[in-house]
């Protein structure tokens, strides 16, 4: 049993996200990140700049098709390029999205006819179609860019698989854009990693190209550059479609916005999938935890769980990538867990995998005065669902002597290891995080070593 299974876990790649050049994909859902063409445009890498040029030249070829009487081919091309499920980016819970329809594709191609500058010179940043056409947002921009770059991304994926020992299999891709011919090649045979859930091929994307939203996007334009007073009357609903119509008739406003985004390009950086909270925030959350009363009064348990989730995800990074917080119910009890991927990046984590079979680590959060026998039994039963034999209580105080003895007996009988991180342990982890001389996960290792010393040989 794995929570949110990832490519690296399945193929036995014992590296965390911070150590890899590509973003680690989930097998059963998309990542909420998007390839931003602007990051290629502003990159100091000549390769990235050349790839951006290839995207823009390919997109502007739609103008040539339209002017030479091939509107139908231009529309069909942009429709086919509007979805790229192999890269696993976006918001889909099934890694499968829908292509745009013919009306949207027609509106995109019409921009070359309706706006003289684009008709004569083409686009410099094709992301601006978000500001002219309804239904085009960050997921479409990302997918179109990925499809234009698919040939490069295939080579990049094969290279990364060779570096990290990720197995590949022969696949046939329905369509790959050919930049030399400005056309789509059919039935392209290559070797790529395979999604074990649906047998679809997987294509990697470099982390340095990804953002949660493209640098050029409608929401930013509407907030910072849109002349709303010229579009809407006071008190009138601010309808997006009216903004798009205004932009098509007054494209100079959009051009000024693009000039601003170009000038401030130094502020445009890629977004990591996970960012640690600063030390001051970690100390504030720790202070809030220690002030909380144990139990459920005034929602203290929920507050404890929220604070611990934010704090532990930061403290254990990068050695443990956060999978998710999840809820479960057992015997009428609502239980909250934190689940982390075990990247086996240090000797301690490798031992947890080797000795107890944990590909993921479960932290059960208990805002109680003391851990009781029922709590131990609950966590033990949960580990039996396939997580492995190692589990952690995140609780307020050390285990009572009788309960600690119970965990020793459990190890002796079943080779299960249940340890507890307390408020004082979390305090130490935050101190270590602040000092940067050691890593907070060493506190967890210390607790494990102490537990094993007390176990019979």
**How buried is residue 55: exposed, middle or buried, by Cβ count under 10 Å (0-12/13-18/19+)?**
buried
Phi, psi of 229 (to 5 degrees): -65, -25
What share of the chain has pLDDT > 70, as a percent? 98
Q: If you average pLDDT over residues 365-391, what whole number do you get? A: 91
Q: Count H helices, E strands: the chain?
A: 19, 9
At residue 334, does pLDDT exceed 70?
A: no
Which residues, 6+ apart, have CB-to-CB distance to 270 below 8 Å?
36, 39, 207, 208, 209, 210, 211
pLDDT of residue 168 exceeding 90, the answer is yes
Of the candidates 378, 428, 419, 382, which has an alpha carbon nearest to the alpha carbon of residue 398?
419
CB-CB contact of 113 with 148 (8 Å):
no
Three-class SS state of 79: helix
The mean per-residue pLDDT over the stretch 347-363 comes to 93
- 226-278 per-position pLDDT tens digit: 999 999 988 888 889 999 999 999 999 999 999 999 999 999 999 877 778 89
What tokens appear for 392 in the block? Answer: 């952690």
3-state secondary structure of 233: coil
The DSSP secondary structure of 239-267, one letter per residue, reads: -HHHHHHHHHH-HHHHHHHHHHHHHTGGG
Using CA atoms of 155, 156, 159, 164 in order, give the dihedral in degrees to the nearest 10: -140
Yes or no: say if 95 and 200 are a contact pair by the CB < 8 Å rule.
Answer: yes
What Å distances lie between residue 17 and 62, 223, 323, CA to CA? 37, 33, 12
Question: Mean per-residue pLDDT for 446-451?
Answer: 96
Measured CA to CA, the distance from residue 13 to residue 113 in angstroms comes to 50
Pairing of strands 320-330, 169-178: unpaired
pLDDT attached to residue 386: 82
> Which runs of consecutive H residues, i.e. helices, occur in 87-180?
102-114, 116-121, 138-148, 150-164
Integer Cα distance of 39 and 31 in angstroms: 18
Task: Quickly count: other Cβ atoms within 10 Å of residue 199's Cβ.
Answer: 9
The residue with tokens 């020793």 is 408
What local confidence, expressed as pLDDT, does residue 333 receive? 67
Q: Residue 313: exposed, middle, or buried by beta-carbon count in 10 A (0-12, 13-18, 19+)? A: buried
Cα dihedral across residues 384, 387, 388, 394: positive or negative: negative
pLDDT range class, residue 91, cuts 50, 70, 90: confident
* pLDDT at 256 (0 to 100): 96
Residue 221 main-chain phi, psi, to 5 deg: -60, -45
pLDDT band at 331 (very low <50, low <70, confident <90, very high): low
Tokens of 16: 């965390």
- Exposed, middle or buried, 163 (CB in 10 Å: 0-12/13-18/19+)? exposed
Residue 335: the pLDDT is 72
Q: What are the structural domains, with CATH classification, of the chain?
A: 7-267 (no CATH), 279-454 (3.40.91.30)
Its pTM stands at 0.85
Q: Which two tokens stand for residue 253?
A: 């406003």
Cα(268)–Cα(38) distance, rounded to whole angstroms?
A: 8
pLDDT at 236: 86
Q: Chain-wide mean pLDDT for the chain? A: 92
- 233-237, 372-376, 427-431, range with the lowest pLDDT: 233-237
**pLDDT attached to residue 237:** 87
| Percentages of the chain per state (helix, strand, coil), in multiples of 5 | 50, 15, 35
CB atoms within 10 A of CB 420: 23
Say which range, 123-132, 335-344, 405-414, 445-454, has the weakest mean pLDDT.
Answer: 335-344
Please classify residue 73 by burial: count the beta carbons closer than 10 Å to its beta carbon, then call 0-12 exposed, 13-18 middle and 19+ buried.
Answer: middle
d(CA 38, CA 128): 11
- Report pLDDT digits (tens) over 137-165: 999 999 999 999 999 999 999 999 999 99
Assess whether pLDDT exceeds 80 at residue 327.
no
pLDDT confidence tier of residue 6, bands split at 50, 70 and 90: confident
Q: Tell me the pLDDT tens digit for each residue of 129-142.
A: 999 999 999 999 99
């Amino acid at each position: 049993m794995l929570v949110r299974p990832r490519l690296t876990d399945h193929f036995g790649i014992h590296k965390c996200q911070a150590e890899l050049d590509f973003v680690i994909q989930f097998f059963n859902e998309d990542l909420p990140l998007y390839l931003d063409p602007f990051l290629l445009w502003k990159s100091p890498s000549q390769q990235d700049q050349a790839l951006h040029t290839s995207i823009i030249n390919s997109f502007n070829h739609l103008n040539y098709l339209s002017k030479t009487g091939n509107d139908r081919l231009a529309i069909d091309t942009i429709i086919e390029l509007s979805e790229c499920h192999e890269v696993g980016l976006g918001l889909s819970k099934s890694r499968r999205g829908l292509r745009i329809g013919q009306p949207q594709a027609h509106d995109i191609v019409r921009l070359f006819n309706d706006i003289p500058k684009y008709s004569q010179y083409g686009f410099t940043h094709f992301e601006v179609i978000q500001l002219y056409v309804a239904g085009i947002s960050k997921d479409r921009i990302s997918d179109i860019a990925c499809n234009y770059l698919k040939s490069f991304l295939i080579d990049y994926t094969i290279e990364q698989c060779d570096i990290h020992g990720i197995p590949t299999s022969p696949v046939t891709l329905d369509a790959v854009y050919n930049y030399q011919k400005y056309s789509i090649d059919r039935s392209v045979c290559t070797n790529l990693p395979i999604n074990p859930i649906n047998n679809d091929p997987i294509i990697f994307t470099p982390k340095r190209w990804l953002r949660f939203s493209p640098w050029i996007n409608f929401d930013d334009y509407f907030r910072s550059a849109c002349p709303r007073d010229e579009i809407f009357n006071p008190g009138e609903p601010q309808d997006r479609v009216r903004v798009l119509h205004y932009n098509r008739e007054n494209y100079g406003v959009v051009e000024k916005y693009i000039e601003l985004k170009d000038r401030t390009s130094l502020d445009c950086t890629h977004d990591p999938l996970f960012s640690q909270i600063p030390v001051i925030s970690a100390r504030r959350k720790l202070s809030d935890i220690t002030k909380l009363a144990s139990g459920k009064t005034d929602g203290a348990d929920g507050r404890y769980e929220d604070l611990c989730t934010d704090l532990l995800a930061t403290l254990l990074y990068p050695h443990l990538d956060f999978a998710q917080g999840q809820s479960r119910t057992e015997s009428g009890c609502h239980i909250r867990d934190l689940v982390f991927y075990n990247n086996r990046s240090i000797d301690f984590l490798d031992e947890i995998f080797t000795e107890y079979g944990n590909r993921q680590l479960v932290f059960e959060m208990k805002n109680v005065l003391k851990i009781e026998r029922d709590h131990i039994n609950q966590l033990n039963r949960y580990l039996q669902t396939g997580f492995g034999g190692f589990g952690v209580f995140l609780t307020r105080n050390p285990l009572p002597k009788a309960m600690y003895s119970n965990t020793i007996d459990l190890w002796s009988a079943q080779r299960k290891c249940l340890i507890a991180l307390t408020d004082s342990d979390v305090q130490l982890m935050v101190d270590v995080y602040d000092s940067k001389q050691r890593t907070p996960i060493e506190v967890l290792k210390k607790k494990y070593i102490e537990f094993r010393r007390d176990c019979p040989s």
